[in-house]
Structure 1
C-alpha cells in the first residue's frame, strides 16, 4: 500500500527534492548504528532529501536492489544492519530486499 501511494505522488516528491537538496558526500556510507535505525521504518525510506535503506535484522547482511530515476541503471548493494544512505531522494526510485550476501 505504501509503495502504491509513494509511486502515485513520486513526481511531486521529485519536484520538491530538486529544490531542497543539500550537499551529499557519499551514496554508500552507513549512517548510524542499529539502535539509531530503530527510529526509522524498516526497508526503503525516501523521507527527506536523502533516501535510505534501514536493514532491521541485526544478524545478517542482505543484498538490496536499488532502482534509479531518469533512466539510469539500477544496482545491487550488500548492506549491513542499520541505515545505509543510498543517495538523493530525487535520484532513487525504490530499493528492496533481494537476498543474502
Structure 2
C-alpha cells in the first residue's frame, strides 16, 4: 500500500512539474540537457537572454532587482550574458532593434 501511494505521489509531482514550466522557457529544454531555452534563461546564479528563431537583432527589456531601473538592450542571435541573478530579475523581448 505504501509503495502504491509513493508511486502515485511521484507521478503527480512529475505531472505538476510539466504543467508549471514558465512560458518564457520557449522549447522547455534546459541548459542541463545541453539545449538552451529561448528568451529568459537563468542558469545557476547567472542570467542570460537567448535569442532564437531569427538572425535579426532584437530589443530586450532587462528588469533589475531591488527596485532599480531596468534598461533596454539590443542582442543578436544566441546567448547574451546579462549579469548575476541577484542583480537581474527578468528579461523579455520588446521588438526589433
1:53 maps onto 2:49 in alignment: yes
Which structure has the greater CA radius of gyration? 2
Can you give the 5+ residue segments of structure 1 that lack an aligned partner in the other structure?
4-37
How far does residue 47 in structure 1 lie from its aligned partner after superposition?
2.0
The partner residue of 1:68 within 64, 67, 71 is 64
> Normalising by the residue count of structure 2, what TM-score does the alignment of the two structures yield?
0.64
> Normalising by the residue count of structure 1, what TM-score does the alignment of the two structures yield?
0.61
Can you give the 5+ residue segments of structure 2 that lack an aligned partner in the other structure?
1-19, 24-33
1:82 maps onto 2:75 in alignment: no
How far does residue 53 in structure 1 lie from its aligned partner after superposition?
0.3
How far does residue 48 in structure 1 lie from its aligned partner after superposition?
0.8
**Runs in 1 of length 4+ with deviation above 4 angstroms?**
none
Moved more, 53-62 or 66-75: 53-62
Q: Distance in 2 between matches of 1:64 and 1:77?
A: 5
